[in-house]
Structure 1
Amino acid sequence: MTQEAHVSQGPLTTEAGAPVADNQNSETAGVGGPVLVQDQLLLEKLAHFNRERIPERVVHARGAGAYGTFTVTADVTPYTRAAFLSEVGKQTEVFLRFSTVAGNLGAADAVRDPRGFAVKFYTEEGNYDLVGNNTPVFFIRDAIKFPDFIHTQKRDPYTGSQEADNVWDFWSLSPESTHQVTWLFGDRGIPASYRHMDGFGSHTFQWSNEAGEVFWVKYHFKTDQGIKNLTAEEAEVLAGKDPDSHQRDLREAIERGEFPSWTVGVQIMPAADAATYRFNPFDLTKVWPHADYPVITIGKLELNRNPRNIFAEVEQSIFSPAHFVPGIGPSPDKMLQGRLFAYGDAHRYRVGINADHLPVNRPHATEARTHSRDGYLYDGRHGGEKNYEPNSFGGPQQTGRALWQPFDGFTGGTGNHPTPVHAEDDDFVQAGNLYRLMTEAEKERLIANLAGFIAKVSREDIIERAIGNFRNADADFGKRLESAVQALRG
C-alpha cells in the first residue's frame, strides 16, 4: 500500500496554530542584517529540531515494526484463563517490533547479533507484552550481570570501538554463555530478514486456568516464510550496500500485500514437574527439549499494516515483560525477574512517565483506569476525577483477584544465591548438543565465524579460556576451533 494522494490541509501554522506567512526567509534587521530574536517561527523550529530525538534505547535501539493480528487456532482454556486466548477463532490486534541488540540507532541491519522479537497484544483485559528474541536462550541467567554484559558489547571507554578483548574476556569468564554464543555464530546468527526468522519468548512464563492450576510455558513463533540466513560474507556486502535492508524488506513486503506470518506454539510443563525436571526449567541459558515437552500449535500471527510514522509508533513504542493479563504471569527465572523492573524503568527515563498514553502504547481494546496523574506530557485525560483509592466517588477499584498464581516451595534465608542446580544442569551440555546436530558444512562455518572473532583478541589467556568453553561443550568443537584460531594468528 502506497502513501495516500496529496490533499491540501490548509495553511501552514505554528505549533500554536497561527498561520505562517513566510517559511523560507528568517526575519532580519533590514536586508542582510542580523536575525531578530522576535522571529518566533525560526526559534520554534530550531528549538523543536534540537529536541526531535529522544534518548535511544541502550539495547535494541535499531528497530522496525508493524501492526497485525493474532488468531487463536486451538483450545488452551485448560491451561490459561487469559481472555484473548479464550476461544478458537478469536482475533487480537498486535504490534510487533523487531530489532538488533548491540547496534545503535544508525547501525546496519545485516549484522551478527540476536534479534529482538517483541509483541504487544492489545487485549480486552489490557496490553500483554511478550518481549523475546529470535533465539530460545540467552547469554546469562541472572539480570545482575546484564549491565556488565552489554558494556562488553558496546564501545570501549578508551578506544571508542567494540573490542574483541572485552567481548571474549566476559564470555570466557561466563561459561553459561557458551550455548547462546554457539547459536549466534552458527548459520542463524545473521537472518536474511525479519520475515525469515523464528521468534521465542525465551523465558519461562506462568499460565493459570480458571481453577487456579499452574503451568509453566515457553513461546515459539515459527516463521511461515521459511528460515533464510546470510553468510558472513553476504552480510558484510549487504550491510555496506543497504544498511536498512531488514527494515526495507518488512515495509515493502507489507506494502505489496505479502503479509508475513508466524505459527505460534507453546511448550507446556505442569507446575509439579519443575522441581524434579533434569534441567532447571527457569534457566534462560537452557531450552526444554521437544522430546520432553512438544510444541503445541495455538495460533497464527500475521503482520498486515505498516506504521504511518516511524518515530511515533516504532521509536516511541514501549514494551515491558511486566505487562501481564489475567491468567499469565512471571516465573522465578532470575533474568526475567530483573527485566520486570528494568524495562519499565528504561521507558520512564527514555520516553517519559506518560509513555503509556501514546497511541501505540495505550490499550486499544479497553481503557486504562489508574490514579496516576501529572508528569511530563500528561494530557489531562482524567479531568477532575479523584486521584486516590479507595474513594467513595465512583473511582476505579481493585478486583481482589491476582493476575497470576503465587509461587510456592521456596525456603531458606535471604542471600545472594546462585540459580538452583538440577540433576543434569551444566553450562556446556546443550551447546555441545547443538554443535553435534549441525552438518559438517554448518560446523565449518561456525568454526570460521568464531575463529575470525577470537583471533582478534590480544591476550592468549583470554583466547585459551574462550576455546576451553567450547572444548568443554564438545572435544571436536574445541580442537577444530583451536586449530582455526592458531592458523589465523600465525
Structure 2
Amino acid sequence: MNNSNYLTSQSGAPIADDQNSLSAGERGPLLLQDWHLIEKLAHFNRERIPERIVHAKGTGAYGTFTLTKDLSDYTIADHFNGVGKQTETFVRFSTVGGEMGSADAERDPRGFAVRFYTAQGNHDIVGNNTPTFFLRDGIKFPDFIHTQKRHPQTNLKDPQAMWDFWSLNPEAMHQVTILMSDRGIPANYRQMHGYGSHTFSLWNAEGERFWVKFHFKSQQGVVNLTNEQADKLKGIDPDSSQRDMVVAITDGNFPKWTVNVQIMPEADANTYHINPFDLTKVWPHSDYPLIEIGELELNRLPQNYFAEVEQVALAPSNLVPGVGASPDKMLQARLFAYADAQRYRIGANYNQLPVNCPHATQANHHQRGGAMAGTQCPYHGSQTGGDASVNYGPSTAEPKLEDASKLIEPPLRIDGEAARYSRYDQDDFTQAGNLYRMFSEDEKQRLVATIAGSLSQTSVDVQQRMLAHFSKADADYGQRIQSALGLVV
C-alpha cells in the first residue's frame, strides 16, 4: 500500500476518518483511545512556541552577500576572503518591544540580524537599525526590558517606568535621542540602515587582531514616518513592513544594502579617547572611516513563516574562524543569553532545523539526545557526523580530525582586577549633544514634541532628572524640553 495516497498520522499510519471522533454511541462521550484525535489536539496545543521576549514580531528573507573587497589582511574568515565570493544569507528584521500582534509602525528600534551561511559555519551579526544602544552592561538588560513591556498590574505600557529607568541611567541618552527623533519610526525594513552595533574582532593568518564594526547602508535610501503618519498606518495596516518586504521581493525589486566596516588596530583601543567597547558610543568616521566591502541582496522569501522566520535562531555567539567577540560588556552578556533563549524557546537541538543548520558545511560534534534529536538537515543529513553512537572525544572509534590549530584566535591580553566597575566612562552626554546639533530646526521641534508627549505622563521628579540629562547634552535641548513640559527648575 502506498501511504502517499492517504492522509496519515505523524508516524505515517493511514487515517480512515479525519472528520469524526471516536465516540461511545452516536451521542455518547468520546473515547481516550482515539489516538488520532489526541494527536491532532496535542499538536494544535503546541503549534506556537513561546514568542521571543524581545523582537517578537519579525520579517525574514533569504539573499546573497557578495564580497567586493578582499579582507585577508584583516581576517581568515572564508566569506571575507576572495573578491566576488558569494555567500547565502538570511536576514530577520523586527520591532523590539511589541508582542507578535503589535503594529510594525511603532516608535521602536528595529532588529537587523544577518546570518551568513559560510563554508566554515554560520556567522550571525545580530544587530539593530541604530549604531548604539541604551545600555553598556548586560546585567541591566532584564530591568530595562521590563520597563518597555507592560505594567505587571495594569497590563498597560508604562511611561513612568520607562523614563524613570532612563533618568537613573544617563548612559541611555544617545539612544534615547535617536529613538525619539525622526529616526525612531522607520517606514519599512527596506529603507533603513542596519548595524552590528557591537565591536567585534577580526584576526588574520599572521595572528594580528583588529577591532571591527559592521554597517549595512540601505541602497533604497532611508525613509521614516512622523507620529501622525505612523498612527494612521498602524490602523490601516498593522503588518505594513511585512507586507512591504513581501511585495518588493515578489515583484523582483530585491532590496540591497552596501556593507561597510570600520576597522581599528588592536593597540589603538588602549589609548583611544572613547572606550571602543562601549555600546552607547559610536566611533567617529573621521578617525575610522567606513570601508566598503560588499553588497547584501535579499531575493527569496521563506516558504514557511513559522519554520523559517519564527524558528530561526540567530545568536551573536554564532562566530566563525577569523571573527570573534570583544570585551564589549553587552556583547559578552548576549553571547550567553541569545543561544540560551533559543534553547528555551525551541529546544536543545534547534540548530538541526533547516533554517539554523549550516548550509555550506557539515556539522560534526558529540552532542546527543534532547528534544528533536535526529532531525535531519536537508543540506547535509545528520548533524553529528561520524559515528552517531559516539558521544565523546577524543575517541578511537572515530577517524582523527584535521589539525585545527591554524584556526585558533590569537590570545587577548587582559589587565586589571576582577571587580564590578560601575562608571568606567563618565561622558554620557557629548555624543547625544552632537547628534542633537546635527538636526534641522524642524527635526528638533518634532524631537522635543515627541519627548514631551511621553515624558509628561511621568512624575515631576523623573521629569526633573531627565531635564538635567538633556541640558548636559545641549543647553538648548534641555531648555526646549523644559518649556514644552512647563517645568520650573
| TM-score for the superposition, normalised by structure 2 | 0.94
Q: How many residues align?
A: 476
Letter in 1 for 2:59: A
1:22-71 Cα offsets, whole Å, 9 max, x none, are: 32332333333322323222221111101111111111111110000000
* Equivalence for 1:469: 469
Change over 3 Å in CA distance of 1:396–1:108 after alignment to 2: farther
CA contact (8 A) 1:196 1:225 kept: yes
Structure 1 ranges of 4+ moved more than 6 A: none
The answer for the alignment partner of 2:395 in structure 1 is 391
The question of whether the paired residues in 2 share the 8 Å contact of 1:80 and 1:207 is answered with yes
Alpha-carbon distance change, 471 to 96 in structure 1, aligned in 2, over 3 angstroms: same
Task: Show the counterpart of 1:5.
Answer: none
1:179 is matched with 174
Partner of 2:443: 442
1:197-236 maps to which residues of 2 (within 5 A)? 197-236=192-231
Establish whether residue 157 from structure 1 lines up as the match of residue 152 from structure 2.
yes
Deviation at 1:351, TM superposition (A): 0.8
2:422 maps to: 418
- 1:265 is paired with a residue whose SS is strand
The TM-score normalised by the length of structure 1 is: 0.94
Corresponding letter in the other structure for 1:386 = V
Cα distance in 2, alignment partners of residues 291 and 394 from structure 1: 53
CA shift digits 1:425-471 (9 cap, x unpaired):
610000000000000111111111111100111x1101111122111
State the one-letter code of the partner of 2:338.
Y
Q: 2 CA distance for matches of 1:265 and 1:230?
A: 26
SS at 1:99 equivalent: strand
Instruction: Give runs of aligned pairs for residues 23-172 of structure 1, distance below 5 A.
Output: 23-172=18-167
| Cα pair 1:334 1:419 within 8 Å, conserved | no
Residue 309 (str. 1) matches residue 304 (str. 2): yes
- 1:450 maps to a residue whose letter is I
Residues 73-108 of structure 1 deviation map (CA, whole Å, 9 limit, x = unaligned): 112111111111111100000010111111111111
Question: Distance in 2 between the 1:102 and 1:478 partners?
Answer: 27
Contact 1:329 1:403 in 2 (8 A): no
Structure 1 Cα separation of the partners of residues 238 and 447 of structure 2: 24
| 1:396 to partner: Cα distance | 6.2
How far residue 394 of structure 1 moved from its aligned partner, in angstroms, is: 2.5
- Quote the Cα distance in structure 1 between the aligned partners of 2:415 and 2:294: 38
Q: Which amino acid aligns with 1:443?
A: K
* Cα pair 1:386 1:395 within 8 Å, conserved: no
Root mean square deviation, CA, Å? 1.7
Q: Does 1:433 align with 2:434?
A: yes
SS in structure 1 of the partner of residue 286 of structure 2 = coil
Query: How far, CA to CA, are the matches of 1:103 and 1:403 in structure 2?
Result: 40
1:259 shift after superposition: 0.7
Whether contact under 8 Å (1:389, 1:395) holds in the other structure is no
Which stretches in structure 2 are left out of the alignment for 5+ residues?
Answer: 376-381
State the Cα deviation string for residues 232-266 of structure 1 (Å, max 9, x = none): 11111111221111111111211111111100000
* CA displacement 1:315-361 (0-9 Å, x = unmatched): 11101111111111011111111111111111111111100100000
Are 2:349 and 1:354 aligned? yes
Query: How far 1:377 sits from its partner (Å)?
Result: 1.1
Given the superposition, is the C-alpha separation of residues 430 and 164 from structure 1 closer, same or farther in structure 2, using an over 3 Å criterion? same
The answer as to whether partners of 1:122 and 1:363 remain within 8 angstroms in 2 is yes
User: Is 1:325 aligned to residue 320 of structure 2?
Assistant: yes
- Alignment CA distance shift 1:36-1:393 (3 Å): closer
Aligned-pair CA distance for 1:419: 5.8
Aligned pairs for 1:286-297 (under 5 A) are: 286-297=281-292
Structure 2 residue aligned with 1:3 = none
Separation (CA, whole Å) in 1 of partners of 2:207 and 2:422 = 29
Counterpart residue number, 1:406: 411
Q: Which moved more, 1:306-315 or 1:22-31?
A: 22-31
* 1:118 aligned counterpart, secondary structure: strand
3-state secondary structure, aligned to 1:119 = strand
- Is the 8 Å Cα contact of residues 324 and 403 (structure 1) preserved in structure 2? no
Q: Is 39-48 or 161-170 further displaced after alignment?
A: 39-48
Question: Which letter does structure 2 place at the counterpart of 1:475?
Answer: A
**1:300 alignment counterpart:** 295
| Cα distance, 1:402 vs structure 2 | 4.8
Distance 1:351 1:445 in 2: 42
Structure 1: give runs of 5+ residues left out of the alignment.
1-8
CA distance in 1, matches of 2:411, 2:54: 31
Q: Secondary structure at the match of 1:136?
A: coil
Alpha carbons 1:11, 1:19 under 8 Å: kept: yes
Equivalent residue letter for 2:393: E
Q: 1:12 aligns with which of 1, 7, 10?
A: 7
3-state secondary structure, aligned to 1:392 = coil
Structure 2 distance, partners of 1:160, 1:37, is: 39
Partners of 1:100 and 1:113 within 8 A in 2: yes
Task: Map residues 239-388 of structure 1 onto 2, 5 A cutoff.
Answer: 239-379=234-374, 381=382, 382=384, 384-388=388-392
2:129 is matched by which residue type in structure 1? Answer: N
Q: Which string of whole-angstrom CA distances, capped at 9 and with x for unpartnered residues, describes residues 173-217 of structure 1?
A: 000000000000111101000101000000011111111111111
Change in 2 beyond 3 A, CA 1:63/1:89:
same
Secondary structure of the structure 2 residue equivalent to 1:282: coil
Alpha-carbon distance between aligned partners in 2 of 1:143 and 1:372, rounded to the nearest angstrom: 28
1:328 touches 1:403 (CA, 8 Å); kept in 2?
no
Structure 1 pair 486–361 and aligned structure 2 pair: CA distance change class (3 A): same
